[in-house]
Amino acid sequence: MHQTTLSDPAGSGAVHPSNRLLIAVLSMSNFVIGMGAFMIIGLLEPLAADLDLPMARAGAVLTTYAVAYAVLSPVLVSVTGGIGRRRVLAAGLSLFGLACLLPVLLPTEGVLHASRILAAAGAGIFTPVAAAVAAGLSAPGNRAKALAAVFFGMTMSQVLGLPLGSFIAYTFGWRAAFAVVLVVLLPCLWLVWTIVPRGLSFQPVTLRDLARMMRNGRLMLAVGFTASFLTAGYVVNTFLAPLLSQNLGWGRDGITLALLVCGIGAVLGNMMGGALSDRIGPARTLTLLCLAQLVVLPGFSALPLAGGQTTLLSGALAMGLLLLWSVFGWSFMAAQQARLIGLAPEAAPVILALNAAGVYVGAALGSAMGGMVLTGFGLAPLGLVAGALMVVALAHLRLSVRLG
């Protein structure tokens, strides 16, 4: 990948102060995108009640977003490869903002699904390009930390965005939560247009580059691990609110607190994943994360813990489970992104777009599988099914590392 504007003439890998500001702006924008994309998890119950939908059908909104992102992101990143990064980033945020406005004005199931497709297009342009910019600012030895920095906004959306969206939805209605995202997005859009240099560009990537990447079997196997890892997690993640509500009796405040704990774990995991990957390597880091999730995920089928009674002890144990699950889950992204860029540094925007697509393929598969389990067997088996799928993810990773 050749960078034309953001360079380090001394070759030291240090980041210029203006580039640190740019990374901060990209991170803030990722916060908005993360909140708008995933707060569906925390507002699933009020949304389903307002639209009179079964829980599994309401959860399909997340599946729609995930499938649209997986399909649109690599194509849109490739098509816009020759356009200045400022325009591409601003366009992505603008599309995402429009997607948040539509369900506020027209609160129907059909419009909600259509708006999620539009949101996926906007996020699918913005997030991979932002990650590519962060990678381009960094020496290879610090790349995972830089990616973790720009991804920090996404993790902060788990700390603040998801619990805030859930609280607003339970208190004022789910449409109000989307309105808040739109309000927070507008200053981010202005900052992107103001801070990102006019001439910032990379070596253009095209649909031909995308096709070349997709014909590389070993590379696509490595990208596919993103989907298999996230599939396991989203079996639980999509239906976390009803899982906590029905098994522990938690309402608005309990679920908001649970999402806050998950957000704290996301921040810790994001930092841990970047630092650990730079220290022991991405492949070893990812193997450790799979093994850790194998232990944690089945715990969701044992709720409430501590003898099957909902007590203060069982609530504390559940919070501990949520914290560990989030730490190990959010340590994943920086390590996987660093691993993939190392495999194809000359086409970082495309490979990161494919990786982002893998995230949402995993989200779509996981939410769909979770919905089928919920419909057929109820909430209880979700953790066990997620654990079994993590075994598949671990086997996928080891095969990919061996072939690579």
Question: What pLDDT sits at residue 305?
Answer: 61
Residue range 2-43, pLDDT digits in tens: 343 444 433 444 445 557 788 888 899 999 999 998 888 778
148 assigned to some structural domain: yes
Inside any domain, residue 86: yes
pLDDT at position 183 is 95
pLDDT score, position 15: 47
Query: Is 27 domain-assigned?
Result: yes
Q: How many domains does the chain have?
A: 1
Query: How far is Cα 144 from Cα 281, in angstroms, rounded to an integer?
Result: 10
Which CATH number characterizes residue 268's domain?
1.20.1250.20
Residue 68 lies in a domain: yes
Let me know if residue 6 belongs to a domain: no
Domain extent for 270: 17-206+216-403
pLDDT of residue 143: 65
70 in any annotated domain: yes
Is the residue at 10 inside a domain? Answer: no
Q: What is the pLDDT of residue 11?
A: 42
Q: Which pLDDT value is given to residue 310? A: 60
Q: Is residue 359 part of a domain?
A: yes
List the chain pLDDT tens, one digit each, 404 residues.
334 344 443 344 444 555 778 888 889 999 999 999 888 877 888 998 898 888 878 878 887 888 888 888 888 888 887 787 788 999 999 999 999 999 999 999 999 999 999 999 999 899 888 887 777 666 666 666 777 778 788 778 877 888 888 889 989 999 999 999 999 999 999 998 998 777 666 666 667 777 888 888 888 999 999 999 999 999 998 888 888 888 888 887 888 888 889 888 888 888 888 888 888 999 999 999 999 999 999 999 988 765 555 677 778 888 999 999 999 998 998 889 889 888 887 777 778 778 878 887 888 789 889 989 988 898 889 999 999 999 999 999 999 999 87
